[in-house]
Amino acid sequence: MKQYVIDEIRYQDYEKIKKYLDDSLGDSGVDGLYWLPVEEAILSDVQMAHTACAPFCMAMELEEDRLTGELLVRTRNRVRCDCVHYADERQRDWLIRQVDAIFEKLDIIT
């Protein structure tokens, strides 16, 4: 799996990130797993055409010492479909900017 990982997170920062993700993304049903909705403007042509598969998201996994973002754009409606594929460059950069923005908002230095 391709991933974007920030490790060596301090416990007090973990608590801030967890609260933020709980409040902004909600409960996924799996502890530490969050679904980050992907902006429609950066969806691939295939994803845009698959309106029945929307919404699209990327998984974020928070552990006490790391935050991992999967570089896979997926739908929560289906497990397999042509529209589920690894992030392209725009989508990858978007995910990194989202994580950076969260850390900046929470005043966490990486």
pLDDT tens digits for 94-103?
999 999 999 9
pLDDT tens-digit readout, 77-110: 887 899 999 999 999 999 999 999 999 999 998 6
Domain locations along the chain: 3-105
SS3 44: coil
SS3 3: strand
User: What mean pLDDT comes out for the span 38-45?
Assistant: 96
pLDDT tens-digit readout, 5-38: 999 999 999 999 999 999 999 988 899 999 999 9
